[in-house]
Amino acid sequence: MAYMTNLYDSSKCTACRGCMIACKDWNQLPAVMEPFKGNYSTHEDTNGDTFTIIKFMEEEDPVDGVRWNFLKYNCFHCFDPACMQVCPRQAYSKTEWGATIHDPDKCIGCQYCTYACPFHIPKYRKREDKIAKCTLCADRVSEGLTPACARTCPANALKFGDRAELLAEAEERVKFLRANGFPRATIYGKLELGGLNKLYILTDTPDKFGLPIDPHIPKQIPFWQDWVQPWLGWLIPLAIAGSATSFVTTRILANKHAGHEEHGAHVEGGHE
């Protein structure tokens, strides 16, 4: 099956953040109020309750003056995702059309994926002790719908469709932009990391949008994938069993300790 993806055009995005709301609505994610810190972004990064954000980046150029760049930031659904490589419980999988999805039932909350991801996208959700991230609305797409973010975009900055077709469209658009005031316009996601299943039309070089120009997966990851996982994967349950035993024994000891404390002056707090 051909890959299906989102094409995001930063030259058309007006940063209305409708995609953020549509995402929260479809995925039923709660609002987590944080104080305004001096940037329209409000969220500095994605988190367990916010899968997609719009980043606002100001820059000043002596010739062009002030520019305000917007970037929709979320999972890039890499062709060969690092998160999938490092996950010890095989919680990650690729759909046949290219979405990287994460199964919370298999997730043990170890967060290796967060550190392995070149974009640090998978985020830990403390209340469930699980990782959560964008699914490219795989549940919608499997029913023939477009992802919630692309469905809602009023500025036509976000499109969903066949990756090859969108790539051709992106190339045309970049040619147009280069001739119309954006000489450094480029495509992101075509070649990076061997290809991302998210295509970005950027009006300037990726660093101006806070994206790594040459993203790479940490070197130890192939080692993990090729050696540790196939041969030493059984260590994980052992390690878990070990920690569980240690947890229980520690509790028993702690309770004993607390029992002593109760006779003393301190009432609140069971341990030191």
Partner 1 sequence: MVDLKNTDVALIMGSNAAENHPVSFRWLDRARQDRGAKIIHVDPRFTRTSAKADVYAPLRSGTDIAFLGGMIKYILENKLYHEAYVANYTNATFLIKEGFSFNDGIFSGYDPDKRAYDVSSWDYETDAEGSPVKDMTMTHPRSVLQLLKKHYSRYDIDTVCSITGTPKNKYMQVLETFCSTGAQDKTGTILYAMGITQHTVGSQNIRAFAIVQLLLGNMGRPGGGINALRGENNVQGATDMALLYHIIPGYITSPSNAPEHKDLTAFLTKETTKGYRSNTPKWVTSLLKAWWGDAATKNNDFGYHYLPKRDSKKNYSHIAMFEAMHKGEIDGLFVMGTNPVVGGPNANKEQEALCNLKWMVQADLWLNETADFWTYQAWERAVHNDKVDRKTPADIGTEVFFLPACAVFEKEGTAAQTGRWVQFRWKGAEPVGDSKADLWIVDQIATRVRKLYQGSTKPQDEPIVNLNWDYGHGHEPDIMKVALELNGYYLADNKPVPSFAKLMDDGTTACGCWVYCGCMGLTPTGELDYKPMHRDNKDNSKHGLGLFSNWAWSWPVNRRIVYNRCSVQPDGITPWPGDEKRALIQWDATAVGDPATGKLGKWVGDDVPDFNVTLAPEEPGGKNPFIMRPEGVGCIFAAKTSMKDGPFPEHYEPWESPTTNKINSQQNNPCVKVWEPDKQGNSKDFPYVATTYRVVEHWQTGALTRNLPWLSELMPDMFVEISEELAKEKNIKNGRKVIVSTSRGDISAVACVTKRLKPMNINGEIVHMVGAIWQFGFKGFATGDIANRLTPHIGCANSMCPEYKAFLCDIRRA
What's the closest the beta carbon of residue 82 comes to partner 1, in angstroms? 29
Binding span for partner 1 by CB under 8 A among 101-109, 118-126, 173-181, 224-232: 173-181
Residue 139 as a binder of partner 1 (CB under 8 A): the answer is no
Binding span for partner 1 by CB under 8 A among 22-30, 104-112, 188-196, 263-271: 22-30
Binder among 155, 213, 241, 252 for partner 1 (CB under 8 A): 155
Binder among 1, 36, 126, 260 for partner 1 (CB under 8 A): 36
Residue 63 as a binder of partner 1 (CB under 8 A): the answer is no
Based on CB atoms, which residue is closest to partner 1, 116 or 158? Answer: 158
Based on CB atoms, which residue is closest to partner 1, 40 or 247? Answer: 40
Question: Cα separations (Å) of 200 from 31, 48, 93, 137, 222?
Answer: 27, 23, 23, 18, 27
92: amino acid identity, one letter: Y
| Neighbouring-strand partners of residue 160 | 6
Question: Cα separations (Å) of 86 from 91, 100, 257?
Answer: 10, 14, 39
Binding span for partner 1 by CB under 8 A among 6-14, 96-104, 114-122, 253-261: 6-14
Q: Give the sign of the dihedral formed by CA 104, CA 110, CA 116, CA 122.
A: positive
Based on CB atoms, which residue is closest to partner 1, 69 or 186? Answer: 69
Segment 177 to 236, residues that bind partner 1, using CB under 8 A: 180-181
Residue 156 as a binder of partner 1 (CB under 8 A): the answer is yes
Question: Cβ distance 15 to 207 under 8 Å?
Answer: no
Binder among 70, 76, 160, 200 for partner 1 (CB under 8 A): 70
Based on CB atoms, which residue is closest to partner 1, 156 or 220? Answer: 156
Nearest of 165, 95, 86 to residue 136 by alpha carbon: 95
Based on CB atoms, which residue is closest to partner 1, 43 or 77? Answer: 43
What's the closest the beta carbon of residue 204 comes to partner 1, in angstroms? 12
Based on CB atoms, which residue is closest to partner 1, 103 or 169? Answer: 169
What's the closest the beta carbon of residue 226 comes to partner 1, in angstroms? 42
Angle at 165 between CA 101 and CA 17, to 5 degrees: 55
Based on CB atoms, which residue is closest to partner 1, 16 or 228? Answer: 16
Please give the size of the binding site for partner 1, defined by CB under 8 A: 38
Interface positions with partner 1 (CB under 8 A) = 11-12, 14-18, 20-21, 24-25, 30-40, 42, 58-60, 65-70, 154-156, 176, 180-181
